[in-house]
Copies of this chain bind each other. A is one copy, B any other.
Amino acid sequence: MNLAQKLGYPANTKLLMIHADDAGLSHSENLATMQSLVKGVVNSYSIMVPCPWFYEMALWAKKHPHCDHGVHLTLTCEWERYRFGPTLPASEVPSLVDANGHFYKKREEVQQYATVADVKKELTAQIETFLSYGLTPSHLDSHMYSVGSRQDLFEVYKELGERYKLPIQRGRDLTDMVGLEDKEPLSVNAIPVDKVHIGDMAYFEKGKLWDYYESVFDNLIEGFNVILIHTAFDDMEMQGITVNHPNFGAAWRQIDYDFFTSELAKKLVDSTAIQLVNWTTIQKILV
């Protein structure tokens, strides 16, 4: 049986999850994510524990337990002037931080410097902190998919899924993106995404990101589709965070917010022959 069948749908169902990454990053990201969950079509999201606005998002998540919140496991801080580091003291995970004790900016630096022990310690601390706020995660996923930067780090990610009995976000599109081979899943968290839909810089630069999202609904495949987005406002705070980083920058995130709270998106979700799912749905069929 495939995932659709296990969930009680015909085998050829187009399953769709619309997932917002990066909650906790900033107040702007938090507000936009909350609104996209409440009044938009976003039906799953994940929170970055080491970020300055984690606390606000955690309070909201606790008041909205029906929303599908995961831990957005974080090993990088890609921003130029807004710098944060691990949940653990930098001195306890020295292979994850730069000279100022902040996360490295690039996945390639994680690949080059991170030790398995430090990654395991830090990601465990992130999950434990999330749990300590009385939150029940629906899934684990990975910021910039840095857990896929090396096979041994990917094994840590899988181990954490098994240990905490949580589905992890995985799939050929993700591992291909980071140049990793994802061997056949075997465990409770073995639910690969069949197709990841994510905007890229070419669409954004041409002003075609909105059109791309519209076209995604024509290109959903039979199986498990995930649209990965980042919702925030194009305000001074986000412009400050994403300065010199138009890729997933403030203007981009505003488009994500605008599209996925639009009437058009609601119409597409309603009219397209799809079945919405999220990790809470999927967790029910895990033992």
Contact = CB atoms under 8 A, between A and B. Distances in A.
A112 interface: no
A82 interface: yes
Contact of A53 (B28, B59, B82): B82
A197 to B, nearest CB: 29
Interface in A225-242: 233, 235-237, 240-241
A82 to B, nearest CB: 7
Contacts of A100: 55, 132-133
Nearest to A132: B100
Interface stretch (A9-17, A83-91, A254-262): A83-91
A94 interface: no
A241 to B, nearest CB: 7
Interface residues on A, range: 20 to 34
How many protomers of this protein does the assembly include? 2
A56 interface: yes
B82 A28 contact: no
Interface string A50-72: 00110110010000000000000
A240 B31 contact: yes
A108 to B, nearest CB: 22
A84 B50 CA distance: 11
A100 B131 CA distance: 12
Contacts of A241: 27
Contacts of A55: 81-83, 100, 102
B84 A52 contact: yes
Nearest to A88: B89
Contacts of A88: 89
Contact of A236 (B52, B81, B102, B237): B237
A132 B84 CA distance: 17
5 contacts: A27-B82, A52-B52, A52-B82, A55-B82, A235-B235
